Amino acid sequence: MHFYSLLSSLILFVLLLCISDSESLKTLKNLAVKRGGSLTIPCFYDEKYKSNRKYWCRGYYWSLCKIVAYTNISGKTSVTDHPSQNMFTVELKSLQDSDSGYYWCAVEIGGKETPDDKDYLYLTVSSDPAVSVTNSSVSGQEGGSVSAQCLYNAEYQNKQKNWCRFKDGSCFTAERTNTSQNSAVLVTDYGKGSVSVEMSGLKKSDAGWYWFSAGDVELPVHLTVTERPSNSTAVTENKETTAAELSLRQSEMMG
């Protein structure tokens, strides 16, 4: 009995080692994308990993996963490091059903005593993904607003839908009406396979990565916030426009 107890403990330890959550490296867990489409996945890491090499690995078991791409090697799969943001992105192109499976965001540490750090996710590629967005990258002007359209299939009609931010993990749950929500972020479920996200009064600090989820299926969206033109720039543009109009009128009168 003692032998079987030790064997069970060993098996449990191995499973936890092969599939584990990292506190120093984080990404989404269950993604869906349409066949033939592309997807950019953000992987966030701890400050201490800024200078380490990053890579993308495929396989159910971490110990047996196959490295697909390292940082700054372009191709069907490319990994780009953004050390100033403590993250790297994995861009996947021309995805097919055969690309479905388990993957790992990983940071190279090296050495037997300090194994590489990692976090896993599951990707499903199909002709009718559970979740999709009309644009995976949206932008708005500082002080202005931006919208994102998120779609889900009938199977997720009654599942909870969320709009969440990677930076702090805050989430807004979609409602059929928006009267009770924060006026700066409105997430409305129209009940017909579509969720609208409206963000107003944008600030530069709002820029970054978000994700939409329906049930347990997620999809990342990137928000860019551009600077609002200064008053002097606007005045200059108005003066130039007025001068051009005046010149055109004088030409017409002389003609």
State pLDDT tens for residues 42-57: 999 999 999 999 999 9
How remote is the C-alpha of 173 from its chain's centroid?
17
Structure confidence at residue 17 (pLDDT): 41
In the structure, what pLDDT confidence band is assigned to residue 176 with cuts at 50, 70 and 90? confident
Mean pLDDT of 193-200: 95
Mean pLDDT of 181-206: 90
End-to-end CA gap in the chain: 106
Structure confidence at residue 85 (pLDDT): 94
In the structure, what pLDDT confidence band is assigned to residue 182 with cuts at 50, 70 and 90? low
Higher-confidence residue of 172 and 180: namely: 172
Token representation of residue 63: 């110990």
Residue 193, pLDDT > 50, answer yes
Q: What is the CA radius of gyration of the chain?
A: 24
How remote is the C-alpha of 215 from its chain's centroid?
17
Give, as one character, the DSSP assignment of residue 181.
S
pTM: 0.79
CB–CB of 125/211 below 8 Å? no
Q: Give the C-alpha separation, 77 to 106, whole Å.
A: 14
Q: Give the C-alpha separation, 67 to 71, whole Å.
A: 11
Q: Give the C-alpha separation, 43 to 127, whole Å.
A: 26
Residue 236, pLDDT > 90, answer no
Mean pLDDT of 175-200: 83
Structure confidence at residue 94 (pLDDT): 96
Higher-confidence residue of 14 and 166: namely: 166
